[in-house]
Structure 1
Amino acid sequence: MTGIDAPVVIVGAGPVGLATALVLGRHGVRSVIFEQYGGINPHPRAHVVNTRSMELFRTWGIADAVRADAVDPAWAGTILWKQTLAGEPLGRIDVGEGPEDQLLRRLHASAEQLTSCAQDRVQQHLLDAVLTQGMADVRYSTTVVEVTDHGNLVDVTVEGVGGRQVLRTCYAVAADGATGGMRDRLGIATDGSPVLGHQLNIYFHADLSPWTRQDPALLIWLINSASPGLLIGMDGIRRWTFQRSFDPAVESPQDYPPERCARIVRDAVGAGELDVDIRSVGSWTMTARTAETYRSGRVFLVGDAAHQFPPTGGLGMNSGLADADNLGWKLAAVLGGYASDTLLDSYERERRPVAVDNARHSMANAVRMAEVGTGPETGGIAALLASPDPVVAAAERRRIAAAIPAQRPHFDALNQEIGYVYGAARHAGGAPLAATAYTPASTPGARLPHAWVERDGERVSTHDLLVPGFTLITGAGGTAWADAFAETAETTAVAETGKTAETGEGVPKRTVVIGRDVTSPDGQCPELLGIGEEGALLVRPDGHIAWHSAGGSSPASALAALLHGAEPPA
């Protein structure tokens, strides 16, 4: 570490950059974050916080704060289609009124549930956690102008209020978004779909309760000729965004001053008299692109720098948070001296297939949404709905109402959120996930299934048993597994990485024996984890399973292979 200013430099203080720093800090690794802007962008963009992200927030200690800032659950599960907000519904999806087996599957799959919390609020809670943790230096109004990878270290040149500075680091993480520029400077190309369109995002404050009080909804698609678009409730009270198509070839966000935007909102609501406070206007490009590689030497891509999806599915920020969790512990393991650098190659091997499948799912949702009035056909559909011929208008209303139920996988895709298994997508030739049909799995590469257990008189999730290290969970008769792991994991990992015993304390780890350390009052936990009385499984720091006793190997040898970047055993 001689001459190193910080072990890790992170470019970008958005949710994913902050999450990366938070994960590193949990593992005892310091970082510096550089953000070109002066603070958190108050313009809310993403808002869906899916089940897996809420589980991560639970682990990181901010789930309660995010939940407190989230939209009321009564809003979050309802999606409406209307001509204007003041008009009658064309149709709806209530996620909480779906098939019973699907609802029960979601209820029992996790200690947390999908919610909606505006990105600026999520970002604030992540920043608060990072600052409280005290392991990261967050520097706003500082631009990264150059990154030079020397092979054994990285120089990061920045410009800020104090002038130009060069920091020397072991690894750099590009979390600067889809248009941040780091990916392009590294010469990393992307592949995927062509541009589907461009969207204008108007953030405003207004009291829409006369139309939402009796029929609240998180998302309201408005199909009309005057002002079509999507209305999103960011707090269920006064904070809203309105998204509509625009053509950057002939206009820009600067062509939308507050008075024009207010008129657009009033037309979408269907109210000539409405007090609208326009707060900001932004734009974004709808596309699905994935970086061809997530690593360039000692520099890694996370979040939108690595992948960009249409928002149809709410997977963008959520995928980035899981990127941060995956990469963070691996960087810490290498910097801690108990893993080889090849472990870092597994970051791309595991996360890129997930991004590709999320892009596929998001694109399928976007294409399917054209059936109910979004996309290039909006004008024609709006004209039919407004036809002076009541027969034509009624027929179009019936057609849309019949097409809306098919949109449900867009809004209720539990398997997409938590069902991916590292290694499985590659071994199955990239077969897509079934979006809704989640089944808990205890196979290597899968996320640890959630089950309720009792610890010291308190009801906790199996996810609450995990530590910033490796956790071995055994059945009641598995104390031999636990004892052997506690005795051998440290020496095996040290030996396999070529380090001497003096390099540190070895692999951070914990053992949990069901029946000794925790109890399973309903008896379901050992069965759900697939370990019974005598079995065991080893859980990675990111909550994914590294090894299962049915695999025939030992946890220590499986751990050593993992720390060398090997794929999970079959």
Structure 2
Amino acid sequence: MDNVRTVETPVLIVGGGPVGLTASVLLARLGVPSLLVERRPGVTDHPRSRLINTRTVEVLRSCGLESAFEEISLPKAWRQQVIYTTSLAGKELGRVKTDAWAGDATLSPVLPLISSQDKMEPLLRECAEGLPGAELRFSTELIGLEQDERGVTATLLDHQAQRKEQLRTSYLIGADGAGSFVRRQLGLGWVGQTGIASLMNVYFLADLSPWIADRPAALYWVSSKGVTGVLAPLDGEERWVCQIGYNPEHESTGDFTPERCADWIRAAVGDASVPLNILSINPWTLSSVIAERLRRGRVFLVGDAAHQLPPTGGFGMNTGMQAMHNLAWKLAGVIQGWAAPRLLDTYELERVPVARYNSEKSLENFMLVARVNAAVMAQGAGETEVDDETRAAIRGARRYGNFIGMDLGFAYAQGAVVPDGSAPPKVADDVSRYIPTARPGHRAPHVPLVKDGREISSLDLFDFRFTLLTGANGSAWIEAGRKLAQARGLPLSAYRIGPYGELSDPAARFLDAYGLSSQGAVLVRPDGHVGWRSRLASTEPGPTLERALALLLGR
């Protein structure tokens, strides 16, 4: 091979979208050097993904990015409802309150956000480039990979220098999108439904305030016999995207010229004279699929390379970023030597059920919204009064925007978890209802605490380390945990919460929220999920913790 040079890195990340950039940030925060390669010359300029759900904002908070993302978010007043209408100027069909997009301060210290991918990626890129150990190369494409028992050999093409190079890496992360070269090189196909719908994503500028100033919403679903689709605000001012469906058997993407898209937008608004500026048009295909495997050997798939979810609910990017949160600490443990390689087997065990569930529920949302359109088409509700069938269809679609259970309630039934025999909380609807619990496998609950005179959330303690929490009388657990961490070289922090502890609990919520006595203890993983819990004291806290850690770390 001409002009080939060989370099080495512990982790190679392929793909510089939100999930790949998140991988770079998380690994750097964990002290793991990585190289990210992206074939595009820079970050995207098209606003694809919008929703950043509560759990993902919690991950961003742990990286110091919460405030930066809040600055690019759609104002809160716009995140509290979805409106169904015949057009912006036409008859309104109904509204659905969106509790999951409005947030709940009793459940999390953060609020969910709505922004756009073209604003998110530059923030993630800037963060990664400012962290030691994170290297990013754009205009660089993966063109070949081979793996053996010791690592992966990747062939890269630098498009700017027109130079090939071989890279040797311990692990490779494929975050290279729906058409993933990495997945195809692994010989992995899709499981699920592909080609459910074909759509054009259109980014445009327009002042639509004359029709919506008194009714801000996260989405405006338009249903009439003339036009069907959705208008989505990006900044509450003039930045918008819309989704236009089409039939690929009768139309091609080339048929959607800026003029035709502008005509569709004006029809959706209900005013043929509204000024607007089309900035970009991006075709895409709606699917609900998961890769046959999320791992093969030393290669892992994340994001759209691992799964494609319908956008109804906004779980695609979020599922990918949270999967990377799950994988990053496990890679760090194996690379740094404090965990066994078989810990990496738990990535698929834990994340496949989550991806499958999110995919199924997102597809249900899509079908429920389609019922609204079908009811309008069948009854002509836009031309007369809103009929009962349309009202019922809109009520039936209420999970779209009300999914706090999906967002915070998912749990790992097997993997890097030590069950304690307790049952999960019972909820009437696991999509829209959430009851916090510290049952092993679940996200550790948010509890307001005070540390060094400053108010914090319990979630702020889970900063890329294992965290051992006890009640006021749990000193034996704390001492045992610190000794084990020092002996094993394990990143672990330990805190007593309550009177005379390192943290105070002003509202006296900690023990109830975590299901502990004052002598009990809970061990939270670096990704904020509970790994192990003992409700009571132990006569042998050291050996008990050692056995738990051995199970959690694959030893």
The structural deviation recorded for 1:257 is 2.0
Amino acid at match of 1:536: A
Deviations 1:47-78 (A, max 9, x none): 11111001111111111111111111111111
**1:151 counterpart SS class:** coil
The structural deviation recorded for 1:194 is 4.3
Structure 1 range deviating more: 285-294 or 166-175: 285-294
Match of 2:129 in 1: 131
The structural deviation recorded for 1:404 is 1.4
Say if 1:156 and 1:379 are closer, same or farther in 2 by CA, change over 3 A: farther
Match of 2:377 in 1: 380
Q: Please state if 1:113 is matched with 2:111.
A: yes
Say if 1:379 and 1:146 are closer, same or farther in 2 by CA, change over 3 A: farther
Amino acid at match of 1:416: M
Say if 1:182 and 1:249 are closer, same or farther in 2 by CA, change over 3 A: farther
Q: Please state if 1:12 is matched with 2:10.
A: no
Note if contact 1:90-1:397 (Cα within 8 Å) is conserved in structure 2. no
Matches within 5 A, 1:109-258: 109-160=107-158, 161-162=160-161, 163-258=163-258
Match of 1:541 in 2: 526
**1:195 counterpart SS class:** strand
**1:124 counterpart SS class:** helix
Match of 1:497 in 2: none
Equivalent-residue separation in structure 2 for 1:266 and 1:31 (angstroms): 47
Equivalent-residue separation in structure 2 for 1:187 and 1:550 (angstroms): 46
| Runs of 5+ consecutive residues of structure 2 not aligned to the other structure | 1-5
Equivalent-residue separation in structure 2 for 1:459 and 1:231 (angstroms): 40
Equivalent-residue separation in structure 2 for 1:328 and 1:278 (angstroms): 39
Equivalent-residue separation in structure 1 for 2:111 and 2:318 (angstroms): 13
Deviations 1:68-105 (A, max 9, x none): 11111111111001111111311001235x9xxx99x9
Match of 2:3 in 1: none
Equivalent-residue separation in structure 2 for 1:283 and 1:85 (angstroms): 24
Deviations 1:306-330 (A, max 9, x none): 1111111111010001111111111
Deviations 1:322-381 (A, max 9, x none): 1111111111110001111111110010011100111111121122222211xxx37834
Say if 1:346 and 1:424 are closer, same or farther in 2 by CA, change over 3 A: closer
Note if contact 2:349-2:414 (Cα within 8 Å) is conserved in structure 1. no
Matches within 5 A, 1:308-457: 308-373=308-373, 377=374, 380-381=377-378, 384-385=380-381, 393-394=384-385, 396-423=386-413, 434-457=430-453
Q: Please state if 1:510 is matched with 2:506.
A: no
Deviations 1:425-481 (A, max 9, x none): 9999xx997101211111111111000001111111001112221110111111110
Match of 1:71 in 2: 74
Q: Out of 445, 450, 461, which is 1:465 matched to? A: 461
TM-score (norm 1): 0.89
Equivalent-residue separation in structure 2 for 1:28 and 1:216 (angstroms): 43
Match of 1:503 in 2: none
Equivalent-residue separation in structure 2 for 1:448 and 1:564 (angstroms): 21
Q: Out of 48, 54, 68, which is 1:45 matched to? A: 48
Structure 1 range deviating more: 120-129 or 400-409: 400-409
Deviations 1:539-564 (A, max 9, x none): 11000111101397722221121111
**1:385 counterpart SS class:** coil
Deviations 1:271-305 (A, max 9, x none): 11122110111122112101121111110000111
Q: Which of the two has greater helix per residue?
A: 1
| Runs of 5+ consecutive residues of structure 1 not aligned to the other structure | 388-392, 494-505, 566-570
The structural deviation recorded for 1:399 is 2.7
Deviations 1:165-210 (A, max 9, x none): 1111110000011113321221112212243211111110111111
**1:168 counterpart SS class:** strand
TM-score (norm 2): 0.92
Equivalent-residue separation in structure 2 for 1:194 and 1:159 (angstroms): 31
Equivalent-residue separation in structure 2 for 1:49 and 1:197 (angstroms): 24
Q: Which of the two has greater strand per residue?
A: 2
Equivalent-residue separation in structure 2 for 1:406 and 1:424 (angstroms): 33
Deviations 1:115-157 (A, max 9, x none): 2111221222111111121321111111111111122111111
Match of 1:294 in 2: 294
Equivalent-residue separation in structure 2 for 1:490 and 1:455 (angstroms): 23
**1:330 counterpart SS class:** helix
Amino acid at match of 1:146: G
Structure 1 range deviating more: 49-58 or 255-264: 255-264
Note if contact 1:177-1:304 (Cα within 8 Å) is conserved in structure 2. yes
**1:193 counterpart SS class:** strand
**1:184 counterpart SS class:** helix
Percentage identity across aligned positions?
36
Equivalent-residue separation in structure 1 for 2:52 and 2:413 (angstroms): 25
Q: Out of 470, 476, 483, which is 2:472 matched to? A: 476
